[in-house]
Structure 1
């Protein structure tokens, strides 16, 4: 069986998500040590609780990692539907790569300057790609 070209952007976004996971911990653990947060005694807390204890620029990485686990889950599902429907090629591959590229741009904005307007633009454009892919999936499934 030949691999669908739509698998490549899916794997690329998975790898980007794991890179952001690594970046989050490479910055968060030293910041927690500097803030003298004893993680061994933390009970019943969640990552967002650290917003009050760590510098915002450190937490931006964690926020972005969480964002990469939210809407992109729809991306993965839509990609699977497109592949299984036999339309995981052509324009859908272009839209998928655009989605991944825009999510990477969104991440880089959020974890560096965190300028909300620019971050929103990248998010909105990526969402438009996802909407188009979703419409293509619906056409393939319901046609």
Structure 2
């Protein structure tokens, strides 16, 4: 396996690590509160409003990890499967994942909307460029 392919897999693994880290942190914020009886299970069976702000932010951010990142995973896997992975894909993938970390950090801390939106929008642009680049490489490559 080529170095660029390994690096693309590392980028995907870092995105998975972010998702799992948010899930773990969210669990540490939520589960003890329910176990201690601070939050009745009936109040959280459908809505998250009973949780304190930090737990809701973590929950929202966890949900967010299944939006744009899904399109990232598909692009990365398509790149690996088709054999067109190059440095451009790796750089765009790493940049996208870095922006997801920035977005998550903003989202679960001060949650300043303008900063969070800027990080999200930048990630979206990088992801769109990755997809356009990947499509061009796939459609213009002979033998694919």
TM-score normalised over the length of structure 2: 0.86
Residues in 2 aligned to 1:102 and 1:31: alpha-carbon distance in whole angstroms? 31
Check 1:118–1:112 CA distance in 2 against 1; reply closer, same or farther (3 A cut).
same
User: Cα RMSD over matched residues?
Assistant: 2.1
Which segment is superposed worse, 3-12 or 98-107?
Answer: 3-12
Output aligned runs, 1:9-88, within 5 Å. 9-33=11-35, 36-39=38-41, 42=42, 45-46=45-46, 49-51=47-49, 53-88=50-85
TM-score normalised over the length of structure 1: 0.86
- Judge conservation of contact 1:60–1:110 (CA < 8 Å) in 2: yes
Residues in 2 aligned to 1:132 and 1:107: alpha-carbon distance in whole angstroms? 21
- Secondary structure at the counterpart of residue 97 of structure 1: helix
- Judge conservation of contact 1:6–1:89 (CA < 8 Å) in 2: no
Query: Cα deviations across residues 5-61 of structure 1 (Å, max 9, x unaligned)?
Result: 21110011001110110011111123445663233xx49933xx022x122222100
How far off is 1:73 after superposition? 0.4
Aligned residue-pair number:
138
Q: Any gaps of 5 or more consecutive residues in structure 2?
A: none
- Judge conservation of contact 1:9–1:96 (CA < 8 Å) in 2: yes
- Secondary structure at the counterpart of residue 77 of structure 1: helix
Residues in 2 aligned to 1:44 and 1:50: alpha-carbon distance in whole angstroms? 5
How far off is 1:74 after superposition? 0.4
- Judge conservation of contact 2:79–2:85 (CA < 8 Å) in 1: yes
Q: Any gaps of 5 or more consecutive residues in structure 1?
A: none
Query: Cα deviations across residues 58-109 of structure 1 (Å, max 9, x unaligned)?
Result: 2100100000111100000001111223232211111111111110010010
Q: Check if 1:113 corresponds to 2:110.
A: yes
- Secondary structure at the counterpart of residue 100 of structure 2: helix
